[in-house]
Each structure stands twice: as structure tokens, then as C-alpha cells.
Structure 1
Amino acid sequence: MFHNIFSKKKEKKEKIIGEKIIIDNREKNSLVPAKLSSLNLKIEFQHLSVGDYLINNIAIERKTISDLKASIINKRIFSQIQEMKQYPSNFLLIEGDINEIFNNEIIHENALRGFIIASILDYKIPIIFSRNEKDTSLYLSLLAKKRNNEEVSIRPSKILFSKEEQLQFILEGFPYIGPVKAKSLLKKFKSLKKIISASESDLQEILGKRTKDFEKLLE
């Protein structure tokens, strides 16, 4: 009995594996979603107010090296990782060659080290380093496969910040003031009004050489 070698074979449908990955619309220009699809993962684009990727209530903020440099300079990174805490689980994924920042003249290498320490210790946000978009997609793929089937909410829970946390957040919006200095200022002066009206010598105990820069911003 002969088989017709020209007969059409039924194409096997690739089985979708793992949990659905919700992706922010702004990530459409990235190669990561396409790579996730090629790994037979179910993806869905939506508007996310927090994070770039959402896998079973785990918020993931993806930063390329150029994104990270810009967000450290304008301080936006701190508000972004603060917002991520609205989800029970979260992490920051930094994609690319980290040496690009260390070799950058605009950002001092200690600014990056300080950010990493603040993210992990002060904000309790873990950091994962990824080599490229393919590596990122493999991290997300592994996470999607490991998660149990849970109800996913694209609307993060609102966090009620204490008065001290709100004041700290405001202070961190000033250049040269990170979480550590913001906490020290509040511990010493108790309020923004007292910080603004403090003498140069009192501020210098905490801000050091940056005291005059801080005072100029208040003028």
C-alpha cells in the first residue's frame, strides 16, 4: 500500500504553556513580546498603570540600560519602584551591559551603586540583571510556567502611605537626596517646614557638600 506523499498533513497546533503574561502597550516596540510568543506563551497587551509586565499579580518593571540612565538622572525610577509595591510581588529587570553605565561620564558609578542598594534595602524591590531581550523573555517564560493559576488584577491595590513616607517621597524628588538622606533629614527636623528654614550648618551635618546645592533649589 502506497502513501500519498503529496497529501496535506494536518498541522499540529502548538500547545500554549504557562500563565498568561499581560504586557503594557508601550512594550510593543520591544522584541520581548515576540520572543515570548515564539516560546508558546499566551500574551495580552493592555494598559498597565504599574510595571511593564504582569504575571499572576507579579509586577515587573523592565529597564534597558539607556532607560535606567535616564530615569536615574530625572529621579523617576524611585517613584516607579515605589508604585510597584502596590503589588504583593515585584521585581526590577535591568536589561543590557551594566558596564555601559559604569563607563558613562554623565552618571557617577556610585549613583548606580547607591540606587541598587536603595532599591533592595529601602524599597525592598529585588533586581534581576538580563543580558538582552532574549534573556529577558526566558526569565519571564520561566516565571509564567512556575506560577499557579491565580486571579490576576491589572489594577494594583492602593497603598496608604504614612505622613512620614509621604514627606520622604517629596524629599527624594530633590536632586542629591536619596532615601537615606531623606530619612535622616526627617529624623532630625521632623517636618518639611523646619527643613526648609534650617540653618546651613544644621543641613550640612546631613547633606555635606550638597548643602549649598539644596539651598539654591529652595530659592
Structure 2
Amino acid sequence: MRLALWLMPNKPSVARVYINDIACLASGAKAYVAPKGKGVVLTVSDPSIAGEVQAALVEAGIMKATDTLAKVPFARFESRVQVPGKPGGNTAKPRAAARSMPGTRDGEASALDLSSIPVPDPVVLRIDHREPEALFAAFKGLTNVTVERVELPLGDIEINGKYIIERKCCTETTGRTDFEASVVDESKRLFFQSEKLRLEEGIVPIILLEGNAHENSCGMLVQAVDGMLSYLLTIQKMNVLTTYNLSHTVYFLLKLAAHDRSGLGYEPPLRGKKPRQQQDQLIFVLEGLPGVSAGTARKLAVRFGSLAGLVAASEEELLLIPGMGPKRVAQVRAVLFGEGSS
């Protein structure tokens, strides 16, 4: 059994100890204890195995068979939290805090600099008034960026009048995440919201998951999360994107808005890194001709030795090369000489 401590971000008084690596927990299932009064309360994503989880705690020596969870102090679980590779001790960093540390992906996403995104043309972000204040504040003072606080009839964020984004928070909480609640609560909000997005014409619909939907769902199993994501993609035809946290969401929204208005800002190469050897350079160029595979390009390079040699070759000579049929020869000659092009 492995115990892991979690503290709620910005409110470390809210704590849990997750119970991992026990036989009765299926892949994706979760079990944790949280302090309640003088003892703890046990939460299991599959309530039918709560008794087995408690039996595993007894077997691990964390509690006695005669104990009731209401009288087992939370400190007893905290004292059994382990640092990977170090048996015993309670010096493990909280999961949420550890992920946000410098050097982690979450920490890297939190430190993204909006000023590094060129915005040469004006962009407009319309954000629903119910979204967090930090989302509005993040865009203040940016050149060519207009943010409007509105009541959106559809989605949470609208970018340049084209992209409609439904934002679902998946960060750790003491209960269900926003994403999980929108799937399993009686209202089934996400089903309704995605249907409205699907039926709206002239927009690009996006479901944005902010945080780790799989790890931070306290009731949905991994396969249930996968099922919902598959439904959004295949049935509802949504674009599903993910970010690490709110800071990352802000960065992504601005980059999306800038790319929509101004493009990438540079011309991306059509192919990968160019070779250094002359023969390989010739093959690299020949591979760019229509219908010419790497193998055929090598045969052409060996036979004709240079681009000048290929240009000077007759149609009959080209047809002698394996892989060069009449149609392919015509396509290659059209590129070389402009034959058949308008």
C-alpha cells in the first residue's frame, strides 16, 4: 500500500490522503481519507469496495480491526505518507504543490509570458461575466487585445467572433471537478452545452479541459472520462483541447487569437532537416517531386547524378527507372518544365 498526501491549493487546511496500490482498487478507481472531527471519513469512487479498502488498512497496520474510522486520527495516515524511494516519514510534498513547482510542466505553464506572443493585428476576446476575475485581469494592458465582459449565450469565451470555447476546470478540489460535475450531475450540462455548440453554424466549437481530467476526477473512472471525451470528439464533433492551469489557458487563448488574425508569423518548412552530403541533398530535392518516393529518388539520383542530368533526360530514359510510370513521368516533367500547367 502506498499513501499520498494532497493539500488543496491556496487552502492547505483542506487535506486528503490517497490510498494507492491495493488489490481491490481497479485501474482508475480512487480511495482517500479526509479529516472529520477527531477521525476521518473514507471516500471510494466505487462504494461497493469500501469494506475491502478498510480491510486493507487493517492489514497494513494503519488501523485495528476494532477501530472505527470516526476515531482514527488523520495524523496516523499522514505519518505513513511515503517519499518515493524512502520508506516511512511524512515529508512528501503535496501532489498539487509539487506539480506547480519550478521545473515541472505545471510550473512551466504557470510561468508563461503573454508578452512573448506577437499580436500585430487587433484581436477581440469576449468572456462571460461568470468566469474568474483572474481571466480578465491577465489580458489587461496588452497591445491590440480587446477584452469584453459580456453575458454569452453560448460557451464561456468567444475569440474573434469565430471560436467558441466551453471551459471546464479539472484542477484538484475536495469534491467533483467542474468537468466531472457537468457529466455526472443530474443536469448533464456538458451534454446539453456540446449539443448547442454542435448545432451553431459558422463557429469553431472547442471544449477546453483545464487541468488533468483523468487524475482529478473523484468519481469517474478512467474509462468513463475516456468515454466522454470520445463522445465529444466523434458524436458531437467538438475540438477537445487541454491546458495545465488557468495561466496556461490565458496563454493559449491569446496565441489562438493572434494566430487566427495574423497567422504563425513565419513560414514553416514543408519538410524536416536538410541533409549535408551532396548526394543526399539531391535525393532530398527529388523526394519533393510528385509521386517520387525515397527509393525512387535514390534511383534517379544514381542514374542521372544531378538535377541538370534529370532535366536533360528524355521521357524514354525516365520510364526505364523502376517506379517511374507514364503518369509519374508526366507529373515530374510538368514540375521541371511547366508542361501541362496553367
Structure 1: 4+ residue segments shifted above 6 A: none
Residue 234 of structure 2 aligns to a residue in which SS? helix
Percent identical residues = 27
Aligned partner of 1:49 among 153, 162, 166 = 153
Distance 1:119 1:147 in 2: 23
Aligned partner of 1:71 among 176, 182, 195 = 182
What is the alpha-carbon root mean square deviation over aligned residues?
A: 2.1
1:26-48 per-position Cα deviation (integer Å, ceiling 9, x unaligned)? 11x34222112254421001110
Residue 261 of structure 2 aligns to a residue in which SS? coil
In 1, are the aligned partners of 2:214 and 2:225 still within 8 Å (CA)?
no
Distance 2:133 2:214 in 1: 22
Q: Scaled by the length of structure 2, what TM-score is found?
A: 0.36
One-letter amino acid matched to 1:101: N
Structure 1 unaligned segments of length 5 or more: list them: 1-14, 150-219
In 1, are the aligned partners of 2:154 and 2:196 still within 8 Å (CA)?
yes
Structure 2 matches for 1:89-104, cutoff 5 A? 89-101=204-216, 104=218
Distance 1:49 1:117 in 2: 25
Residue 36 of structure 1 aligns to a residue in which SS? coil
One-letter amino acid matched to 2:211: G
Distance 2:210 2:141 in 1: 20
Q: Scaled by the length of structure 1, what TM-score is found?
A: 0.55
Q: Aligned residues, how many?
A: 132
Residue 48 of structure 1 aligns to a residue in which SS? coil
1:59 is the counterpart of 2:164: yes
In 2, are the aligned partners of 1:101 and 1:107 still within 8 Å (CA)?
no
Distance 1:123 1:32 in 2: 27
In 1, are the aligned partners of 2:179 and 2:213 still within 8 Å (CA)?
no
Residue 131 of structure 1 is matched in structure 2 by: 244
Residue 31 of structure 1 aligns to a residue in which SS? helix
Distance 1:80 1:112 in 2: 17
Structure 2 matches for 1:1-219, cutoff 5 A? 18-27=122-131, 29-37=132-140, 39-40=142-143, 41-56=145-160, 57-65=162-170, 66-74=177-185, 75-85=188-198, 86-87=200-201, 88-101=203-216, 104=218, 106-148=219-261
**Which structure has the bigger radius of gyration?**
2
Shift of 1:16: 8.7
Relative contact order (alpha carbons < 8 A, sep ≥ 6): 1 or 2 greater? Answer: 1
